[in-house]
Amino acid sequence: YIYIYIYIYILVLVLVVLVMLFFFFLFILFNFNFNFNFFIYIYILVLVLVVLV
């Protein structure tokens, strides 16, 4: 059963990374002047998600 939890954890991490990349590309496409606070906010959000999992 431990392997199942590890597998789920890896899947969640991959999904989080994909979502992060998606938002990153959207941000670049729609807003060319870089707002670094946005990236910090996303990064904190991802860290919180990882901690919760």
For the chain, the structural domain boundaries read: 2-52
Enumerate the H helices of the chain as residue ranges: 2-30, 36-52
pLDDT tens string 30-46 = 665 556 667 777 777 77
Contacts of 23 (CB under 8 A, 6+ apart): 42
- Per-residue pLDDT, 34: 57
Which is more confidently placed, 9 or 30?
9
Confidence of residue 15 (pLDDT cuts 50, 70, 90): confident
